[in-house]
Amino acid sequence: MNLFKSTVGRKILMAATGLCLVGFISVHLIGNLSVFAGPDGINAYAEHLHALGPLVWVFRLIMLGLFAVHITFGVQLYLENRAATPDSYAVQKTLVTTFSAKTMVFTGLIILAFLLYHLLHFTVQITNPDISAHNIALDAAMRPDVFTMVTASFHNAFIVIVYIVAMIALTLHIFHGLSSWVQTLGWSTGTSQDKVTFIGKLVAIGYGLAYIAIPLLLLARIVK
Ligand code: HEM
């Protein structure tokens, strides 16, 4: 089977790259939650990340490759599916029933748009130069003040709404992704598959709530 050409092969690649990306958002979530520990939490975390030096760029290239494969095949399979004959579309319709499954390509594109904005916001720091770390003094321990950049950003209701919409799209996307990968990889095993599907859905909801809590609690000044 040619992984890059056959439909099954491309679906397997999508599931595998999707799982790696979920690995990334898991680690990223833990890092982001350290904002609740104050500057000593997230600034120390960011400092350790940046101290990895060239490894950061290796990691970025791997991420870029994962995103490129996942998005390219996702859009390709969606377009092929749409262009398929009415008969096979009818079959597809009976198999794919949930809202999160039907909207995968749209939630995926919302996440992509968010990601571009997010990188310009926090990594390149050009969307809000007034509140970005490059323009803010180092913290008391001489670390880039990521805490102030994040908290000041989420004191802006518009930015918070953008993040919340994107996090809802992310939740829907991984809600389906985390409940379908076992089947896609051909590891369906009856009741244990049901358990993995159930846990996948719980994880998706948990990640969604945790990611949404960050901008929301900062906006509400519950965490300052
Ligand atoms: C509340 C939600 C989020 C917050 C507060 C947040 C925060 C941040 C911060 C502060 C950085 C810059 C880190 C630094 O350079 O020190 C960053 C980078 C990044 N974030 Fe997020 N993030 C959030 C959600 C997401 C999501 C959902 C994704 C993926 C879908 C994501 C993907 C990335 C990527 C790819 C980077 C660049 C990492 C690098 O520089 O190599 N983020 N984020």
- Residue 156 neighbours by CB under 8 Å, 6+ apart: 128
Return the pLDDT at 96: 47
Q: Write down the pTM of the prediction.
A: 0.91
pLDDT digits (tens, 9 = 90+) for 65-97: 999 999 999 999 999 988 885 655 555 554 546
With pLDDT > 70 as the criterion, what percentage of the chain qualifies?
Answer: 92
Q: Give the number of other CB atoms < 10 A from CB of residue 51.
A: 9
Q: Does domain 7-219 have CATH number 1.10.3720.10?
A: no
- Residue 167 neighbours by CB under 8 Å, 6+ apart: 208, 211, 212
pLDDT digits (tens, 9 = 90+) for 88-128: 555 555 454 688 999 999 999 999 999 999 999 999 999 98
Region 148-156: mean pLDDT is 95
| CA 122 / ligand 1 centre spacing (Å) | 7
Amino acid at 25: I
Q: Within 13 Å and on the Cβ side, how many CA atoms surround 68?
A: 7
Residue 147 has pLDDT above 60, yes or no: yes
What does the longest C-alpha to C-alpha distance in the chain come to? 65
- Residue 120 neighbours by CB under 8 Å, 6+ apart: 126, 127
| CA 112 / ligand 1 centre spacing (Å) | 13
Give, using CA atoms, the residue closest to atom 40 of ligand 1: 123
- Name all residues whose Cβ lies below 6 A of ligand 1: 25, 28, 32, 46, 56, 60, 63, 111, 115, 118-119, 122-123, 146, 150, 163, 170, 211, 214-215
